[in-house]
Amino acid sequence: MSRRNPQIHIRIPEEVKAWLENNARENERTMNSEVVFQLKQAMEKESK
Check residue 3 and give its pLDDT. 77
Pairwise CA distance, residues 13 & 26, whole Å: 20
pLDDT at 47: 92
- Indicate if the alpha-carbon torsion angle 47, 44, 41, 12 is positive or negative: negative
Sequence letter at residue 1:
M
Residue 6 clears pLDDT 60, i.e. is over it: yes
Would you say how long the chain is, in residues? 48
pLDDT at 20 over 90: yes
With beta carbons less than 8 A apart as the criterion, state whether 24 and 31 touch.
yes
- Amino acid 11 reads R
